[in-house]
DNA sequence: GACTTTGGTTACTCGGCCGTAACCTTACGC
DNA sequence: GCGTAAGGTTACGGCCGAGTAACCAAAGTC
């Protein structure tokens, strides 16, 4: 029965690197569906086609596993965005490409993205991790705005900039959620819509327009 | 010792309505700090100055308790907003008052708001509840936009409107998070900043400006 | 002043799920 | 071919926390 060796390798004895990815895939899926707490290590293991102790052996405790998921997905996303928005393009072009890449990513990883992020928001252990990523995004956006502003000879307080950037990032995340909940929606179109809101609003600010509260 | 009767009523034998509010206060606080799962009924009870079975007697299971929190806080918030933004005002005035009321509320309930909402996003049982509230907000905002648009003789697809409204609401929630994380920040100022982004961006749309993707 | 209702407590049960100990077995180096 | 490490398993310990049973006492009520 030597034939058996070369027959269907029924998912047996895979190298560590491969198994780790499978586990992460499964973990993302299960965490997404169930939420961090309700997800059980057993289910993740089963979904990965492996038994629980292997998960512990390779990826450690439940929290560590979740962080690993967050990390992988986050890195992938960042890379997708960074790869699209070359820093030597004009601001609107950069913004547009960045948004398109972002929504493209979310569209392709509907399962992964939204829920991981929705999850991570709440629970303390991961809030930090998530906040760091968001901070990087905010920084990038703020940098773009600042750059564009300086090009126009204007300048604006740091907090001011941060807040506007925060609002833009928030709006974008919100639309990402919307996209994740509307499977029929088109990422490209969503990106265009977001660009409309962001660029027109930001554009106004760039040109020095401001709204002031009425004297009540 | 009849005097004892009129002496300090050391938190004894309070009527149900009062205790329920105390419990909800405690629950909001603990859920906020710990997150839904990590919060224990014992801790909530203790914080409310009462023992666990009372919580079960008055407010039911843990999930029901959380929903009750969500409900109370949500209602309060909606009332604060609705009370401020009278429907017969011009759109920008309504938006401004609504935003101011909203950020005022968040500023005053820092502990409660953000974390409750951050919590509710993730866990399935409550996502629905939360989505319903957000939907109401989105609808209101979309209504305002639509109203303003028609006044200008323009019209826009429903989805279009919904998406823009969604983005604005998202940006606002995001700034609310920011506000909750920056205790020194001023709600009023935050509202002004949000108004800048929203109104200038929306204003552009109102006047028919649109951004179109470059032919790549 | 007995009787019931309402506010309140202590002290448990019981189940789920994380994490691990102990134990197999296939492949590979030499 | 034989040792050894890497891939893999079953089966269990133990904790923590939701929910409950049984019981107590103060305030109204007639």
pLDDT in tens, chain B (216 residues): 433 343 444 557 899 999 999 999 999 999 999 989 999 999 999 999 999 999 999 999 999 999 999 999 999 999 999 899 888 888 888 888 999 999 999 999 987 887 788 888 877 778 888 888 888 888 888 888 888 888 878 888 888 888 888 999 999 999 998 998 898 999 999 999 888 888 877 777 767 778 888 876
Structure token pair of residue A51: 């038994």
User: What are the backbone dihedrals phi and psi of residue A14, each rounded to the nearest 5 degrees, phi first?
Assistant: -90, 150
B40: which nucleotide lies closest, measuring CA to C1'? D17
**A132: its two tokens:** 């760091």
- When scoring B170, B191, B204 by the number of chain A Cβ atoms within 10 A, the one with the most, hence best to mutate, is B170
* Residues of chain A contacting B172 with CB distance shorter than 8 Å: 167, 170
Q: How many CB atoms lie within 10 A of CB A74?
A: 20
Chain B residues with CB-CB distance to A115 below 8 A: 122
Q: If you count residue pairs, one on A and one on B, with CB atoms under 8 Å apart, how many are there?
A: 149
How near does any CA of chain B get to the CA of A172, in Å?
7
CA distance A5 to A35: 40
Q: Residue A212: its pLDDT value, please? A: 83
% of chain A with per-residue pLDDT over 70: 94
Looking at residues A7-34, what average pLDDT do you find? Answer: 86
Q: Could you say which of A163, A193, A204 has the minimum Cβ distance to residue B178?
A: A163
pLDDT confidence band for A1 (50 / 70 / 90): very low
The residue among A76, A29, A24, A74 whose CA lies nearest residue A54 is A24
pLDDT for the residue numbered B17:
97
Taking the C1' atom of every nucleotide in all shown strands and the CA of A50, the nearest one is D8
> In whole angstroms, what is the distance from residue B119 CA to residue A121 CA?
7
CA A159 to C1' C11, in angstroms, rounded, equals: 55
3-state secondary structure of A34: helix
B157, B158, B188, B197: best to mutate for the A interface, most A CBs within 10 A = B197
Give the one of A37, A175, A202 whose C-beta lies nearest to B167's C-beta: A175
Task: Provide mean pLDDT across the span A8-28.
Answer: 86
* pLDDT tens per residue across span A132-160: 888 888 888 888 888 888 887 888 888 88
Enter the DSSP assignment of B50: S
Is the Cβ pair B123, A160 closer than 8 Å?
Answer: no
- Sign of the dihedral defined by the CA atoms of residues A54, A60, A64, A70, in that order: negative
Distance of C1' in D22 from CA in B9, Å = 28
pTM: 0.88
Q: Are B117 and B35 in contact (CB under 8 A)?
A: no
pLDDT of residue A11: 57
Residue A64 binned pLDDT confidence (cut-offs 50, 70, 90): very high
Residue whose C-alpha is closest to residue A114's, from A38, A185, A175, A24: A175
Contact call for residues A210 and A156 (beta carbons, < 8 A): no
Mean pLDDT to the nearest integer, A192-196: 88
pLDDT on residue B216: 67
Chain A residues lying within 8 Å of B196, measured CB to CB: 164, 205, 210-211
Nearest to B22 by CA among B48, B46, B44: B48
Query: How many other CB atoms are found less than 10 A from the CB of residue A58?
Result: 16
pLDDT at position B11: 59
Average pLDDT over every residue of A35-46: 94
Task: Establish whether the CB of A16 is closer than 7 Å to any nucleic acid atom in strand D.
Answer: yes
Strand C bases within 7 angstroms of protein beta carbons: 6-11, 16-22, 26-27
Q: Which residue has the higher pLDDT, A30 or A8?
A: A30
| Strand D close to B27 by CB, under 7 A | no
Mean of pLDDT over chain A: 86
Residue with tokens 């609310």: B176
Contacts of A138 in chain B (CB under 8 A): none
Q: Please, which pLDDT band fits residue A5 given cuts at 50, 70 and 90?
A: very low
Burial grade of B65 (CB within 10 A; 0-12, 13-18, 19 or more): buried
Q: Which two tokens stand for residue A122?
A: 């709440």
Would you say residue A91 has pLDDT above 90?
no
Judge contact between A70 and A116, C-beta under 8 A.
yes
Cβ distance of B174 and A166 shorter than 8 Å: yes
From A130, A212, A192, A162, select the one nearest B195 (Cα to Cα).
A212
- A112-125 mean pLDDT: 78
Please, are residues A19 and A44 in contact by the beta-carbon 8 Å criterion? no
pLDDT at A7: 39
- Spell out the alpha helix ranges (H) of A7-90: 16-34, 41-47, 52-59, 62-84
Closest CA to B33 of B102, B127, B118: B118
């Amino acid at each position: 029965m030597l034939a058996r060796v070369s027959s269907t390798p029924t998912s047996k004895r895979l190298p560590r690197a491969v198994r780790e990815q499978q586990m992460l895939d499964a973990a993302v899926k299960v965490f997404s569906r169930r939420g961090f707490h309700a997800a059980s290590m057993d289910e993740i293991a089963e979904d990965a086609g492996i038994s629980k102790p292997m998960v512990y052996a390779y990826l450690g405790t439940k929290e560590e596993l979740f962080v690993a998921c967050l990390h992988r997905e986050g890195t992938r996303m960042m890379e997708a965005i960074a790869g699209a928005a070359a820093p030597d393009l004009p601001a609107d072009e950069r913004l547009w490409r960045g948004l398109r890449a972002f929504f493209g990513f979310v569209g392709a990883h509907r399962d992964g993205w939204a829920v991981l992020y929705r999850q991570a928001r709440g629970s303390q252990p991961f809030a930090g991790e998530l906040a760091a990523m968001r901070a990087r995004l905010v920084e990038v956006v703020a940098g773009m705005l600042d750059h564009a502003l300086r090009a126009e000879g204007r300048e604006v307080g740091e907090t001011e900039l941060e807040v506007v950037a925060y609002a833009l990032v928030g709006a974008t995340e919100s639309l990402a959620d919307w996209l994740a909940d509307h499977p029929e929606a088109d990422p490209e179109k969503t990106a265009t819509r977001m660009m409309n809101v962001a660029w027109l609003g930001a554009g106004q600010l760039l040109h020095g327009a401001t709204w002031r509260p009425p004297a009540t």
